[in-house]
Amino acid sequence: SVRRGNVHEARRILSQHLEPNTGYNPTRIEKIMDLYHLAISKLDSDRPEAERRFREVLDLDNKHIAARFGLFKLALDKGDYLTAKSEAEEAVKTDDKSAEAHYSLALATLKIDGQSGAEFAAWECYQAEQLDPSYIERTREIRRELGKELA
């Protein structure tokens, strides 16, 4: 929603993901959104700063799945596959209906476990595809790699 410029819708969605006992707090939501946008803006120029900001977002809202994906991407890019997998697992725990979370977990599993994780990675690909059929294209590369691992 934010990428499309619908800030009000983004705030509404974010407020639904706050922990139940925090309630709706516009100031807190604004701070979370500001930190998240700052982290995104630093992804290409200052990765350590982006990581710090994503962690600050999670300190305020540990269910902020987009911040998890940001940490996943940073870890994956630097070859820290264990951290990437941990972030993907947390994303699935946060929202098991997220195709991106299942796809991320499949990708990290493939990177870490190769053939020994093939069955689990294939299952996560299937979950992503069932939740969002557009992921069939994205999971194709993972399935191709799984095929190489099994050959």
**H or E element that contains 78:** none
For the chain, percent of residues with pLDDT exceeding 90: 60
- Encode pLDDT of 7-28 as tens digits: 666 666 555 555 454 555 778 7
Q: What is the mean pLDDT of residues 45-67?
A: 92
CB atoms within 10 A of CB 97: 10
**Cα separation, 139 vs 103, whole angstroms:** 7
| Whole-structure pTM value | 0.76
- Encode pLDDT of 109-120 as tens digits: 999 998 899 999
pLDDT confidence bin for 42, thresholds 50/70/90: confident
